Amino acid sequence: MANSPQLQVSGIPGIQAEEQAATTSPARGAEMASFLRARLNRNANRENRHIGEAAPPPALVHGWDFWHDRQERSVADAKPPAEDAASYEDRLESLASISDVRQFWSVFNNFDISRLALRDSIHLFHRGVKPVWEDARNAKGGSWTFRVPKSVAAQFWQEICMMAIGEQLQEAVQADQQHKTSFRDDICGVSLSVRFNSMLIQIWNRDAEHQTGIDSILRTVMEGISPALRPKDGSHYYKKHIEHASFGIDEAKVHGAPDASRDNAATADVMDSAATQSLDTATHAS
């Protein structure tokens, strides 16, 4: 059984009490992003003063971008309105770009996912790829979705991110590339979305027809994740992006794509509430 990934960097400064208070409200969206950028700039300046005193941090194989998707909220609207791909993309906010291990931890250690509001999402994607189904590198792909109890979601998310930047997920889809007759498969990114009783953690790949790679991603997660976090039967599934009712790309660009409004997140939350009851029961019983 493979051990869980171990990527660690020492010397990352901890968050101060007054700084933690700045992110107490998950509804602060723009303020949270602004605070995070200021925090990263201070860390970068501090690290620059020590250039030459320590070896440079290990570079990552790929550059990565952190994104925040903040749902629009209104007291008058109990349910989020239907939306198209363009309006969804407008909500995305780039948080930070990383290219080495130290930068990853500088961002990761200063973003508390427990403070995210309902239906908000955080994404870690290959540089140049936006976390939207209709992006050119995502349109023919799909994703594994893991429904994770909130009590263990932070650790699950950390280990999935480490598998991503450590290239274990990429190796999973590359194992049989020489036998593929279509385009090259890749890991596009990973996402975390907040629901009522759980968090949805996703792994996006580029080729939804690459069944060997899809199976290999799941096997890599099952073997690499900490035993206590291992997903239970019925708590995960794979779905092509094109199969979502709200996939908003023109049919002429991707065969068979429906041109419909984006999925209503409230409907997903109702389904989540029912599905998670059985998942939480299974987790506590294990």
4, 221, 227 from 283: Cα distances, Å? 19, 17, 12
Residues 64 and 51: their CA atoms lie apart, in Å, by: 23
> Is it the case that residue 237 has pLDDT exceeding 70?
yes
- 153-206 pLDDT tens trace: 999 999 999 999 999 999 999 877 666 556 678 999 999 999 999 999 999 999
Measure the CA–CA gap between 200 and 145, rounded to whole angstroms. Answer: 6
How many other C-beta atoms can be found within 10 angstroms of the C-beta atom of residue 102? 19
With both helix axes pointing from N to C terminus, report the angle between 101-108 and 150-165 in degrees, rounded to the nearest 10. 160
Which of 41-50, 145-154, 216-225 has the least mean pLDDT? 41-50
Contact 169, 220 (CB under 8 A): yes
Q: Which amino acid is at 155?
A: Q
List, in sequence order, every beta strand (DSSP E) within the chain.
59-69, 92-100, 121-126, 142-149, 187-194, 198-205, 236-240
Q: Which of 110, 194, 83, 198 is nearest to 152 (CA)?
A: 198
Residues 207-216 have pLDDT tens digits of: 999 999 999 9
Q: Quick one: pLDDT band at residue 84, thresholds 50, 70, 90?
A: low
Domain boundaries, the chain: 68-97+113-285
Which amino acid would we find at residue 209? E
Q: How far apart are CA 62 and CA 50, in angstroms?
A: 25
Contact at 8 Å (CB) between 161 and 190?
yes
- Spatial neighbors of 5 by CB under 8 A, at least 6 apart, are 159, 162, 163, 166, 168, 224
pLDDT of residue 56: 86
Task: Indicate the residue type of 151.
Answer: S
Strand-pairing partners, residue 194, are 199
CATH class of the 68-97+113-285 domain in this structure: alpha beta
pLDDT tens for residues 11-66? 444 555 555 555 444 445 566 566 666 666 666 566 555 555 578 888 999 999 99
Map tokens 């790929």 to a residue: 62
pLDDT of 281 reads 42
Q: Are 234 and 145 spatial neighbours (Cβ–Cβ below 8 Å)?
A: no
Distance CA 268, CA 280 (A): 17
Residues with Cβ within 8 Å of residue 186, at least 6 apart in sequence: 126, 137, 170, 173, 205, 206, 207
Tokens of 128: 């140049």
- Rounded Cα–Cα distance for residues 224 and 2 (Å): 6
